[in-house]
Amino acid sequence: MATKHLISRAGRAVCLAALLAAQVSAAQAACPMELSVYEDAAKMAGIDFRPTGESMVVTNTFRMNLRNGFQLDGIVMWSEETPRPYASLLYQCPEGDVTGDEIAECTLWEGPVYAVAQDGKVGLMPAEGSPAPQTLILPDLGPTLRQAAIFADDEDEAGLPGDVFRLAGCQE
- The whole domain housing 4 covers 1-30
Q: What is the pLDDT of residue 170?
A: 97
Residue 160 pLDDT grade (very low, low, confident, very high; cuts 50, 70, 90): confident
CA 170/CA 33 separation, integer angstroms:
9
- Which of 42-51, 80-89, 94-103, 160-169 shows the lowest per-residue confidence on average (mean pLDDT)? 94-103
Whether residues 56 and 113 share a domain: the answer is yes
CA distances from 145 to 75, 130, 159, 160 (A): 16, 28, 11, 7
Mean pLDDT along residues 17-29: 41
The domain tally of the chain equals 2
Q: Tell me: the pLDDT tens digits for 71-129?
A: 999 999 988 888 899 999 999 998 888 888 998 999 999 999 999 999 999 999 998 99
Whether residues 49 and 25 share a domain: the answer is no
Q: Residue 149: which of 115, 105, 102 has the closest Cα?
A: 105
Whether residues 14 and 50 share a domain: the answer is no
Mean pLDDT along residues 142-162: 78
Whether residues 13 and 44 share a domain: the answer is no
Element (H, E) at 164: strand 164-170
Whether residues 62 and 116 share a domain: the answer is yes
Answer yes or no: is pLDDT of 69 > 90: no
Whether residues 38 and 23 share a domain: the answer is no
Q: What is the pLDDT of residue 29?
A: 52
Most confident range, picked from 1-5, 18-22, 48-52, 55-59: 48-52
